[in-house]
């Protein structure tokens, strides 16, 4: 049983873990448990796995009426999670973080079933810190996680990523054709996540004319929340080298096309980008728990493996940073080599091996 979700940063590693297990043990039965109304309820079935949902939700940072419902939803989810675990009778339960992870692992631990926690970030979330006390194994993506978890339980495995990103060689020509990009122009790839990032969109809006004038082409994922507004504003300019997309499904091709990548610093993004091995400018979101995106980015910046541009400085300074990288290929090459040296391409297999030991 695999529980958790809420964002792609939790869901895609969970699916990668399931795939790695299924490849080795094709006769296994795998059940996902997610939060009702969250994206895992769609993405997991699309990946070919069964999922059940819990009514669990998180506390809002500001006071709302929804917060009054929180204790009731949590109690209901704990009861339902116990029933799911009891009915499915898993040999082990994996928690990847997110709202559903807590009730399911709590229930499994109370019933004496082996549990494994997978922490994607460099700063552990509250749910995982609580669950880790009784977990049998904790798989982490960053070194020095002993400040959050018992050292004897930690396995430094890295974050699992989608298989198509593991090898980009020979895909650039296909990528340029797919996105209708020009071979003679340098490509800036801008990624704000599936929902979008306001700051990144505003930064591109402000600099898109000068980026175009400089001779760059921009492949820009604006995200679901901002796409219509960005489309209206870009269409008025008539710029031919700004390629706006609501969402990019073919991420392997997008990475293959890119010369410089501008991205938020969510756990999944930084893990994928370490495998891509190209110069990256991280613009961490300040609107996340414990500022963990900045901590994720700094784990690479401290090894000269990426650059960091603060969220409050991004609008107005994005092009300056892009220019610096484009104008000095040696810097970009060094960043790409350094970030790739920190990659963990076999993370899903490493986690599977830890799982095997728990059910042996």
Q: Is 2 annotated as a binding residue?
A: no
Q: Is 127 annotated as a binding residue?
A: no
Q: Is 77 annotated as a binding residue?
A: no
Q: Is 8 annotated as a binding residue?
A: yes
Q: Is 271 annotated as a binding residue?
A: yes
Q: Is 23 annotated as a binding residue?
A: no
Q: Is 272 annotated as a binding residue?
A: yes
Helix (H, G, I), strand (E, B) or coil at 10: helix
Q: How far apart are the first and last CA of the chain?
A: 16
Instruction: Evaluate whether 211 touches 322 at the Cβ level (below 8 Å).
Output: yes
Give the residue from 242, 221, 324 showing the smallest Cα distance to 281: 324
Q: Is 162 annotated as a binding residue?
A: yes
The pairing of strands 137-140 and 115-119 is parallel
Q: Is 269 annotated as a binding residue?
A: yes
Cα(206)–Cα(198) distance, integer angstroms:
12
Cα(13)–Cα(350) distance, integer angstroms:
13
Cα(285)–Cα(267) distance, integer angstroms:
12
Cα(284)–Cα(305) distance, integer angstroms:
15
């489309």: which residue's tokens?
231
């300040």: which residue's tokens?
286
Q: Is 124 annotated as a binding residue?
A: no
* C-alpha pair distances (Å), 77 with each of 56, 236, 257: 6, 49, 44
Residue ranges of the annotated binding site are 7-9, 121, 162, 194, 248, 267-272, 293
Residue ranges of the annotated binding site for UDP-N-acetyl-alpha-D-glucosamine are 7-9, 121, 162, 194, 248, 267-272, 293
């Amino acid at each position: 049983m695999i529980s958790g979700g809420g964002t792609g940063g939790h869901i895609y590693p969970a699916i990668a873990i399931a795939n790695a297990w299924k490849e080795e043990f094709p006769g296994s039965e795998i059940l996902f448990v997610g939060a009702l109304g969250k994206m895992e309820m769609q993405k997991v079935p699309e990946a070919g796995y069964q999922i059940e949902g819990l009514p669990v939700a998180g506390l809002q940072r500001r006071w709302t009426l929804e917060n009054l419902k929180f204790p009731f939803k949590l109690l209901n989810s704990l009861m339902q999670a116990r029933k799911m675990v009891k009915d499915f009778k898993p040999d082990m339960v994996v928690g990847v973080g997110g709202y559903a992870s807590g009730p399911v692992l709590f229930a499994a631990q109370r019933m004496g079933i082996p549990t494994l926690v997978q922490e994607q970030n460099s700063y552990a979330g509250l749910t995982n810190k609580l669950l880790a006390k009784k977990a049998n194994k904790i798989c982490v993506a960053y070194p020095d996680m002993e400040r959050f978890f018992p050292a004897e339980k930690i396995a430094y495995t890295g974050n699992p990523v989608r298989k198509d990103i593991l090898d980009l060689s020979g895909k650039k020509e296909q990528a340029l054709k797919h996105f209708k990009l020009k071979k003679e122009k340098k490509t800036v790839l801008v990624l704000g996540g599936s929902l979008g990032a306001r700051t990144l969109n505003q930064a591109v809006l402000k600099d898109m004319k000068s980026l175009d004038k400089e001779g760059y082409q921009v492949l820009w994922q604006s995200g679901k929340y901002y796409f219509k507004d960005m489309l209206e504003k870009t269409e008025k300019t008539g710029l031919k080298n700004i390629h706006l997309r609501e969402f990019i499904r073919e991420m392997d091709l997008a990475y293959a096309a890119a010369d410089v990548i501008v991205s938020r610093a969510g756990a999944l993004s930084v893990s994928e980008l370490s495998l891509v091995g190209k110069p990256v400018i991280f613009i961490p979101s300040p609107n996340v728990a414990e500022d963990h995106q900045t901590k994720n980015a700094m784990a690479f910046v401290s090894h000269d493996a990426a650059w960091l541009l603060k969220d409050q400085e991004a609008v107005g300074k994005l092009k300056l940073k892009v220019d610096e990288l484009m104008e000095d290929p040696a810097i970009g090459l060094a960043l790409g080599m350094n970030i790739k040296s920190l990659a963990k391409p076999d993370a899903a297999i490493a986690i599977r091996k830890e799982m095997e030991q728990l059910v042996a």
